[in-house]
Amino acid sequence: MGDEMGDELGGTKGEAGNEPLERLIARLQALYASWGRETTVEQMRAGWEEFFAGAPDPDEYVEVSAGGVPACWIGAPGVRSDRVVLFLHGGGFQIGSTHSHRALIAAISAESGARALGVDYRRAPEHRFPAALEDVLTAYGWLLNQGIEPAHIAFAGDSAGGTLALAALLSLRDRGMPHPAAAVLMSPWTDLAATGESYETRAARDPLNNRPMLLAVARNYLGASGDPYDPLASPLYADLTNLPPLLIQVGDREVVLDDARTFAEKARATGVSVDLEVWDEMIHVFQLFPAELPEARRAIARIGGFLREHLA
């Protein structure tokens, strides 16, 4: 793996033969179909939380204030409290929470042997860019003030959370602050202008996302006058030098596939260590569903191994 582009991983059946995945997609599509033009963001948030209502609660789930930012400690039994994964949930900067992502966060904690701090950053449209990024940086500073060494912290995020993880790394570098040991990015949305070829080549295969929808989400996050080419909004357009080692996982069916591939190419060209995994037939942030997808469990195990290596 390592420096090889597009390491293909996944199941042995084609898309039409993966019954657990098909059932999951049908459930997700039913949720998305219930949202119309009149649906408020509050209703979408409630629907998303209800979708994950049956997820098991972690062994440790403790709400805290991370320098004034709502957060939650999530941990599996026996993990080290001096090793921390700072987790940033996805949801287009508008929905999702540490609570909706608790099963994924707990699984990453168990596989990595580290405690996780989920950050409930401010969401759009009430709080537009760069409010969420400011909250992430505040939470990271709070961890440092708790005595956690930067070398013992890793960032992890899915979708928009992956965007925020990268933006935080860039901000820390530019401010001359110590960066964490590594970062894990699941289906990262690195280009809010949505310029990659996969927005066309995967349009018929991605059952959840499409370019017009993502552009609308980006406008809601950035505001009418916001710039989708701002490097802290779209890390694809940043100077990527001096970033810590990265693990990127993305599904082969995703319209944001090139957000991951092109970002990995650019980062490697500057000397950044990047492991890119392209998971055959998988959908956007498939890791959210370890109880349903064996591929999700395998992907989380690989995340755990990467984090154990870099947090050691």
2-24 pLDDT, tens digit per residue, is 334 456 675 434 455 799 999 99
In a domain, 35, yes or no: no
Percent of the chain with pLDDT over 90: 94
Residues with Cβ within 8 Å of residue 220, at least 6 apart in sequence:
92, 93, 94, 124, 125
Q: Please calculate the CA angle 38-44-47 and round it to the nearest 5 degrees.
A: 125
In a domain, 36, yes or no: no
Q: Any idea which residue has 């898309």 for tokens?
A: 15
pLDDT, tens digit (0-9, with 9 covering 90-100), for 208-227: 999 999 999 999 999 999 99
Tell me what pLDDT residue 15 has.
53
Q: Any idea which residue has 């933006």 for tokens?
A: 167
In a domain, 115, yes or no: yes
- Tally the domains of the chain: 1
Q: Which domain holds residue 202?
A: 7-30+45-311
Percent of the chain with pLDDT over 70: 95
Tell me what pLDDT residue 17 has.
79
In a domain, 76, yes or no: yes
In a domain, 126, yes or no: yes
In a domain, 142, yes or no: yes
Whole-number Cα distances in Å, 128 to 121, 155, 178:
11, 22, 26
In a domain, 127, yes or no: yes
* Residue 171, pLDDT above cutoff 60: yes
In a domain, 151, yes or no: yes
**What is the CATH classification number for the domain harbouring 282?**
3.40.50.1820
Q: How many CB atoms lie within 10 A of CB 27?
A: 13
pLDDT, tens digit (0-9, with 9 covering 90-100), for 226-245: 999 999 999 999 999 999 99
6 and 261 Cβ atoms separated by less than 8 Å: yes
Mean pLDDT confidence for 15-38 = 92
Active site residues: 159, 254, 284
